[in-house]
């Protein structure tokens, strides 16, 4: 698939992260959780303790002896702040230090307090009333499912399934199978469609977050649960929609997924890495048919060719990461095509670099299996 061995490439990526400073390592945020989760994947692949120590050292800056989380405000009721909880559960499993499960329990308390719409779906944040965003499913559901499994609270899986299924029902476009970025149950936001409540476009990374959420939540979902097969079916539908808009020339995906021919749109790396991860993991675990293997090969080759560069000091750079995109707020984000294509584009932003490492680790596992 490429000149450099993928395992060597993965370690070079990890080395690059661990030897560069980032603003995301200085605060409790979802990017912090995402990059530590990707280093966790490198540790599982290599079993080199340097990666475990890196994860623990950086998490320990935030967690005190009692499990309090520095810089975390539960009453912000922001689903983004749940995402690092997955790393707390990882550390608890491997160290049995009570502070990690105490901190995870604090995050679970937030989910109990989280405002919900009339159908039980979590608001994305307290400041975004009645709104479900695709991003929020990734931020909360895999952690929620793992915590429920570890703490033996099986009823929680009914709630988790509802979060996953509800947003798919409301954001899925029946013509393309693609998902709109967000849904406002109240239809009160200026960006919300008067009939559906959905935002106007299919943003790549939003669908990428949701696709990864499906693959990761299923890791912990009970095999006998009434809704497990429904979640697998959503993943299969999503995979078909994803490959239908994969760029045939490069193998990667556009920032606004279905507007590849529209001026100003660009090939975007974070969504491309997320889709590659989801497809590879789905194939490996048997959720997706082997017919997807050529698509995932083409995608990973495309990522390497389109987005990766090596620096003179042998660090790995990832280009073309959309820095940020959202809806509403101040200044107001209207969710238009022009909005998405004009947000800043960065190199090595963790929202792309984390999924790059996760995708590379999954590619290694998939093709070792096959």
**Rounded distance between C-alpha atoms, residue 81 and residue 27, angstroms:** 10
Helix then strand count (H, E) for the chain reads 13, 6
Q: Which of 60, 64, 73, 135 is flagged as catalytic? A: 135
Length of the chain as a residue count: 370
This prediction's pTM: 0.98
- The whole-number pLDDT of residue 2 equals 44
Q: For 40-76, write each residue's pLDDT tens digit.
A: 999 999 999 999 999 999 999 999 999 999 999 999 9
Question: If you average pLDDT over every residue of the chain, what do you get?
Answer: 98
Strand partners, 78: 125
**Rounded distance between C-alpha atoms, residue 329 and residue 333, angstroms:** 7
Displacement of CA 269 from its chain's centroid (Å) = 13
113-120 contact pairs (CB < 8 A, 24+) = 113/74, 113/75, 113/77, 114/77, 114/79, 115/77, 117/185, 118/185, 119/162, 119/166, 119/185, 120/159, 120/162, 120/163, 120/166
Helices (H), 19-122: 30-46, 49-60, 85-95, 98-113
pLDDT (average), residues 106-110: 99
DSSP code at position 61:
T
**Percent of residues, the chain, with pLDDT higher than 90:** 98
Cβ(181)–Cβ(206) below 8 Å: yes
Level-2 CATH architecture, domain 6-368: Alpha/alpha barrel (1.50)
Q: Cis bond leading into 231, ω under 30°?
A: no
Domain ranges across the chain: 6-368
Q: For 143-177, write each residue's pLDDT tens digit.
A: 999 999 999 999 999 999 999 999 999 999 999 99
297 phi, psi to nearest 5 deg: -60, -45
Residue 60 known to be catalytic: no
């Amino acid at each position: 698939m490429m000149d450099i061995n993928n395992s060597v490439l993965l370690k070079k990526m990890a080395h690059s992260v661990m030897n560069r400073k980032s603003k995301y390592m200085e605060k409790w945020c979802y990017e912090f959780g995402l990059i530590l989760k990707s280093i966790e994947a490198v540790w599982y692949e290599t079993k080199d303790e340097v990666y475990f120590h890196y994860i623990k050292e950086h998490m320990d800056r935030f967690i005190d002896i009692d499990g309090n989380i520095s810089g975390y405000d539960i009453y912000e009721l922001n689903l983004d702040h749940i995402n690092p909880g997955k790393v707390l559960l990882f550390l608890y499993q491997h160290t049995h230090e009570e502070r990690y499960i105490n901190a995870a329990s604090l995050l679970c308390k937030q989910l109990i307090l989280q405002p919900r719409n009339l159908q039980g779906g979590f608001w994305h944040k307290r400041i975004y009333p009645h709104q479900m965003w695709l991003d929020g499913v990734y931020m909360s559901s895999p952690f929620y499912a793992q915590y429920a499994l570890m703490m033996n609270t099986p009823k929680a899986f009914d709630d988790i399934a509802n979060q996953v299924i509800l947003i798919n029902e409301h954001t899925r476009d029946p013509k393309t199978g693609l998902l709109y970025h967000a849904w406002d149950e109240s239809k009160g936001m200026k960006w919300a469609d008067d009939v559906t409540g959905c935002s106007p476009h299919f943003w790549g990374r939003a669908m990428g977050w949701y696709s990864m959420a499906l693959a990761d939540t299923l890791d912990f979902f009970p095999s006998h649960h009434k809704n497990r097969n429904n979640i697998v079916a959503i993943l299969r539908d999503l995979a078909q929609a994803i490959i239908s808009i994969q760029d045939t020339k490069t193998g990667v995906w556009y920032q606004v997924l279905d507007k590849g021919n529209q001026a100003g749109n660009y090939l975007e790396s974070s969504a491309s890495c997320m889709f590659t991860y989801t497809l590879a993991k789905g194939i490996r675990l048997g959720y997706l048919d082997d017919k997807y293997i050529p698509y995932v090969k083409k995608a990973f080759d495309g990522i390497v060719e389109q987005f990766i560069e090596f620096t003179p000091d042998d660090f790995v750079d990832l280009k073309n990461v959309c820095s940020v995109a959202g809806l509403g707020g101040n200044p107001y984000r209207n969710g238009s095509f022009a909005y998405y294509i004009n947000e800043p584009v960065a190199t090595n932003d963790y929202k792309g670099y984390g999924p790059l490492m996760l995708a590379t680790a999954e590619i290694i596992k998939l093709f070792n299996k096959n």
